[in-house]
Amino acid sequence: MLLALDVGTSGVRAALFDESGKEINSVSRSRAETNLNTTPAELDADSIVQLVEQTIDSLMASGASSRSPLELIAISCFWHSLLGIDQEGTPTTPVLTWADTAAANAAIQLRRHYDEEEFHLRTGCRFHSSYWPAKLLRLKHQRPKNFNRTRKWLSFGEYLGHHFFGTTVASVSMASGTGLFNQSLRHWDDDLLGKLDIDRGQLPEIADQTVSAFSLGDRFAQRWPMLRGAVLCPAIGDGAANSIGSGCVTRNKVALMVGTSGAMRVLSKEEPPTELPASLWCYRADRTRVVVGGALSDGGGLYGWIRESLAFGGNSEEIERALQGMDPDCHGLTILPFWSGERSTGWRSDARGAILGMTMKVRPIDILRAAMEAVAYRFALIANDLRAFAPEAEIIASGNALYSSAAWAQILADVLGKKLQLSNLREASTRGAALLALEAVGKLERLEDFSVPVQKTYEPDMVRNVRYQEALARQQKYEIVASPPRN
């Protein structure tokens, strides 16, 4: 059997899988979450580690693990985080997540001095506050004591490996989301490291294989005897794991996810593209698979913020019925959904949200519906650029925001003008990490042979699509007017 972990910014999930890739149904799953609508910019590393320990404790206590020894530990972890550790392995910084926009000015400085187009094609990333180059530059100038005390720069996935296994080795997948990784050569980008005055020795070693030779440290092997012989699969990026777990592993399927944030991705077994639209990024799932897509900083988090901030009355079912009964763009509002800054498509860390067109007739439900439509418009822009990589692809959707709101799923289908299939598997990232690990040890021949049942299919209404295209054009017009100069 295999233990799979999904470590997110708001919670941790642990599950057991057998060697055929099936989650063991009788296992109780422990998930601990914070009450946050948005991804925090900074997190305490040891608090998340404690949450991981508690989740494993709960799973081991369930008794399900006593059936058979556990041989592998696979991990899905949130992408783009950065923290430093000193010589003793103690954190020198908080965990800086993708939502940290404090490095917005540093990103602008990088843009002024270096060729962003070349950087984008080589690393698959943009000069943006969510990636390591801007974060490191900001820390160097604003937190010099912390910066100079740091001996290693890690993603949280590597910090987790350091805590449990005594290794800071990084998977190709986690390294590929940093902005310091050469996607074609599959190692750290020496040219960029030189420009940032970062020594390669300060970065994690990149694993040659998906499965390492590292096993749990003695303290944790005693705490969880069933894991004593298990070896580590270095953490992979949660987006890659989500695509794999959703069955989106070829160009004929696009994964669309709306959780706190949002993303749309195409995963395939091939080399990085030689041309990449400015709106998209390119990372890796492993040494043979690339992931091309776009990400939104605002998704379900914006929905939750509006509900809380506007003191909605009624329960969720009443709100959902009201949303479903509304016509497209009936409110006359235009929303720029950049409460947490912008990633795809404009990559403006300093972008800010706006609600335009307010009158005395506007109700809270109008603002909520307009925000859901506004997020769908951003997905439409990503989808347009993704067509070059997946021209005939089906859209497989997932994420708690869509499972909670059929209205939002239908809005997305209507805006995109394509059938949207809602996955029947709600915890795809855990499954994706497990499947990739099982493939690596030869238990599974092909990830492509796995499919995920569909919970519900949303057919597009093309009459509504026409109305939404007009509203999308209006959003883009206001976005241009509202955007300050980039430099």
Q: Which two tokens stand for residue 260?
A: 């706190």
Q: Which two tokens stand for residue 417?
A: 């003008």
CA–CA separation, 432 vs 429, rounded Å? 5
Q: What is the pLDDT, as a whole number, of residue 28?
A: 39
Q: CB–CB of 328/389 below 8 Å?
A: no
Q: Can you tell me whether residue 6 is helix, strand or coil?
A: strand
Q: CB–CB of 263/383 below 8 Å?
A: no
Residue 33: enclosing H or E segment and its boundaries? strand 31-33
Closest CA to 97 of 156, 33, 163: 156
CA–CA separation, 113 vs 30, rounded Å? 47
Domain architecture of the chain: domains with CATH: 2-238 (3.30.420.40), 247-424+453-487 (3.30.420.40)
244, amino acid identity: I
In tens digits, what is the pLDDT along the chain, a chain of 487 residues?
A: 899 999 988 889 999 999 989 888 444 343 344 444 567 899 999 999 999 998 999 888 876 655 677 999 999 999 999 999 999 999 999 999 999 999 999 999 999 999 999 999 999 999 999 999 999 999 999 999 999 999 999 999 999 999 999 999 999 999 999 999 999 999 999 999 998 889 999 999 999 999 998 999 999 999 999 999 999 999 999 999 999 999 999 999 999 999 989 999 999 999 999 999 999 999 999 999 999 999 999 999 999 999 988 877 778 899 999 999 999 999 999 999 999 999 999 999 889 999 999 999 999 999 999 999 999 999 999 999 999 999 989 999 999 999 999 999 999 999 999 999 999 888 899 999 999 999 999 999 888 888 888 999 999 999 999 999 999 999 999 987 655 545 4
Closest CA to 257 of 216, 228, 300, 306: 300
Residue 185: CB atoms within 10 Å: 10
Residues 6+ apart with CB under 8 A from 277: 385, 388
Q: What is the pLDDT, as a whole number, of residue 37?
A: 55
pTM of the full predicted structure? 0.93
329, amino acid identity: D
Chain segment 134-153, per-residue pLDDT in tens: 999 999 999 999 999 999 99
DSSP 419-461: -EEEES-S-HHHHHHHHHHHHHTTS-S-GGG----EEEEE---
Q: What is the pLDDT, as a whole number, of residue 33?
A: 45
Q: What is the pLDDT, as a whole number, of residue 481?
A: 60
Q: Which two tokens stand for residue 311?
A: 């003191």
Q: What is the pLDDT, as a whole number, of residue 31?
A: 39
Tell me the angle at which helices 238-245 and 428-440 cross, rounded to the nearest 10 degrees. 90
In order of 53, 302, 312, 326, 377, the CA distances from 337 in angstroms are 36, 8, 19, 20, 10
Q: What is the pLDDT, as a whole number, of residue 32?
A: 43
CA-based torsion, 217, 223, 228, 234: positive or negative? negative
| E-assigned strand segments in 108-180 | 152-154
β-strand 420-423 against 394-398: which pairing, if any? Answer: parallel
Q: What is the pLDDT, as a whole number, of residue 68?
A: 73
From the CA atom positions of the chain, what is the Rg in Å? Answer: 22
261 sits in the region (left: phi over 0; alpha: psi -120 to 50; else beta) called: beta
